């Protein structure tokens, strides 16, 4: 039996194409889930730490008192990982810091004289506070901790709080690797909380957990739903960092063994993941399917089950007539992660056609796991098609731009007729008076 659901773009009707591309959002915006998350949010808003502890008990089977929510200074200081993991964290932080420092070098104040006597521009400053959500349930993700925290620290956010569900063993412990990341980056406000309750706690503030103005971080549909719901209370969030998804765009030059490995790279995340191969070659699709069968047998049962769901009902293989059509399919699907695996002579032209993706990794040596862990480009990226309109989490996610203008009397005199004409049309006499009183 084929691992990948097989489709041909030219033979698909619009309902089939829409169904393929609208993945994941139904779960996040499910009415029952929304109601359940709403109850958690209301509980946290009304009862603070008590509600956070209640969510830990009910959903994570961990019993904590409010004073145990925050990781202590001793916990942060004592956390250790193997020398290999410690070196890997340092390597990743260095790459992320370099990438985000380049962004900061381009995010500077600017101004110009748009007409004689009128100067306009922008002032760039960090946001005042941010909450970082690091998932922990199906697995532990210290890589998410540094993918979020390095951009925030490079941007210069003065107040950072990180929330992470406790490890799934029922101990209430935070993964030591997450604590090591926090220690290396100087983050001391670290809290063990259930995901949706933690998002709510960051948005409202509790007796223990500080209130922040923006919350970022990927998570399950309940976590993504909680972030969407908290926008109603004036909290800024990123749209949407939900279950992982990836797309490989390949032609007949691609190595099927590597394509299969890269598809499984993201497919093993969970049964809610979505993975798509878009190719111009039916022969490659057949070879990749055979390789997937071999490589799936080498995965643990739970990872193999997740991969079959990601490549079957959630994703699959789309055959395209040519690379232009393949790029059009990729742009419509708008993946979180995209790998371009085409012949070198077609790379540049195909890359030019690709506009909707959280990241584009060019060539089969630029694998998804390198992007996830060490390259330095953002790895917390928009999912569910939001790559059409948003970007990954970099230092820019933690900056804001304030417009600044200065006019002299000559410039104001020149602009006054425009001001008065618009005031008269829109019916604002006080606006007009503010201009004429200066004449």
The residues annotated with a catalytic role in the active site are: 336-337
Sheet harboring 214-216: ordered strands across? Answer: 190-192, 159-164, 129-133, 214-216, 236-237
Phi, psi of 388 (to 5 degrees): -65, -30
CA-to-CA distance for 12 and 318, rounded, in angstroms? 10
158 burial via Cβ count (<10 Å: 0-12, 13-18, 19+):
exposed
């Amino acid at each position: 039996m084929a691992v990948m659901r097989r489709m041909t773009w030219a033979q698909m009707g619009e309902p089939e194409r829409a169904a393929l591309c609208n993945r994941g959002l139904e779960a996040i915006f499910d009415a029952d889930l929304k109601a359940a998350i709403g109850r958690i949010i209301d509980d946290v808003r009304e009862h603070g730490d008590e509600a956070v502890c209640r969510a830990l008990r009910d959903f994570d089977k961990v019993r904590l008192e409010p004073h145990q929510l925050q990781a202590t200074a001793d916990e942060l200081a004592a956390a250790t990982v193997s020398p290999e993991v410690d070196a890997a964290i340092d390597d990743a932080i260095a790459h992320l810091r370099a990438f985000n420092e380049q962004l900061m070098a381009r995010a500077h104040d600017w101004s110009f004289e748009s007409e004689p006597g009128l100067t306009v521009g922008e002032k760039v400053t960090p946001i005042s506070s941010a909450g970082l959500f690091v998932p922990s349930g199906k697995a532990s993700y210290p890589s998410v901790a540094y993918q979020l925290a390095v951009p925030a620290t490079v941007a210069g956010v003065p107040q950072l709080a990180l929330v992470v569900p406790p490890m799934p063993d029922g101990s209430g412990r935070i993964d030591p690797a997450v604590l090591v990341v926090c220690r290396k980056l100087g983050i001391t406000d670290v809290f063990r909380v259930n995901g949706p309750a933690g998002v709510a706690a960051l948005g409202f503030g509790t007796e223990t957990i500080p209130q922040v103005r923006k919350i970022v971080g990927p998570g399950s549909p309940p976590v993504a739903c909680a972030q969407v719901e908290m926008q109603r209370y004036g909290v800024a969030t990123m749209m949407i960092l939900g279950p992982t998804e990836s797309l490989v765009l390949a032609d007949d030059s691609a190595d099927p063994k590597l394509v299969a490995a890269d598809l499984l790279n993201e497919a093993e995340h969970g049964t809610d993941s979505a993975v798509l191969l878009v190719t111009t070659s039916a022969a490659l699709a057949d070879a990749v399917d055979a390789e997937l069968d071999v490589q799936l047998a080498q995965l643990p049962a739970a990872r193999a089950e997740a991969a079959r769901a990601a490549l079957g009902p959630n994703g699959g293989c789309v055959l395209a007539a040519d690379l232009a059509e393949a790029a059009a399919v990729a742009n419509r699907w708008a993946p979180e992660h995209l790998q371009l695996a085409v012949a070198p002579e077609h790379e540049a032209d195909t890359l030019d056609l690709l506009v909707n993706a959280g990241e584009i990794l060019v060539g089969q040596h630029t694998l998804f796991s390198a992007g996830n862990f060490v390259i330095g480009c953002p790895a917390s990226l928009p999912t569910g098609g939001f790559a059409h309109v948003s970007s990954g989490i970099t230092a820019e996610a933690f900056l804001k731009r304030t417009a600044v203008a200065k006019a002299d009397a000559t410039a104001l005199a020149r602009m006054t007729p425009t001001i008065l004409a618009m005031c008269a049309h829109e019916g604002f006499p006080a606006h007009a008076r503010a201009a004429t009183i200066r004449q």
